[in-house]
Structure 1
């Protein structure tokens, strides 16, 4: 597919997109860590996590990842529907 970009411009665009994706991932990951830590860890009398805290963190991460996956799927569904609708016109 011809994008109208030179090879150098295409490399620059790819590099910028990759940098943005990494930044967005780190933001989502940081929010996940903060949310699960704040929701699950409340006993600071030991360096180790308690069994309850460990289980809570595991459930929190699983639930968050499942939610993100479903949101991505739903976005793809809506995007496909919008694309199909635009192609009809």
Structure 2
């Protein structure tokens, strides 16, 4: 997007809007991934505490799914 025709204050405002949209998109993506992973991994509510193994499994799964989704979105933009 070429913002060179806008004044510096307009460019700054547009940049802020773009950054807010990117953050909103990221949070929507991350929330969706966490929900999918939680649904796939959590099936026993007999304890409030996560074991270290459960936490690591969750973190690995969220990271992997986020990478997959990011790659998919990047390929769509090309």
TM-score w.r.t. length of structure 1: 0.67
Q: Which stretches in structure 1 are left out of the alignment for 5+ residues?
A: 80-89
* Bigger Rg, structure 1 or 2: 1
Question: How far 1:35 sits from its partner (Å)?
Answer: 0.7
Residue 43 of structure 2: aligned partner: 42
1:63-74 pair list within 5 angstroms? 63-74=64-75
Residue 7 of structure 2: aligned partner: 6
Question: How far 1:71 sits from its partner (Å)?
Answer: 1.8
Question: How far 1:48 sits from its partner (Å)?
Answer: 1.7
Question: How far 1:61 sits from its partner (Å)?
Answer: 1.6
Distance 1:51 1:11, change over 3 A: closer
Q: Which stretches in structure 2 are left out of the alignment for 5+ residues?
A: none
Q: Equivalents in 2 of 1:4, 1:49: separation in Å?
A: 53
TM-score w.r.t. length of structure 2: 0.75
User: Aligned to 1:71, what secondary structure does the other structure show?
Assistant: helix
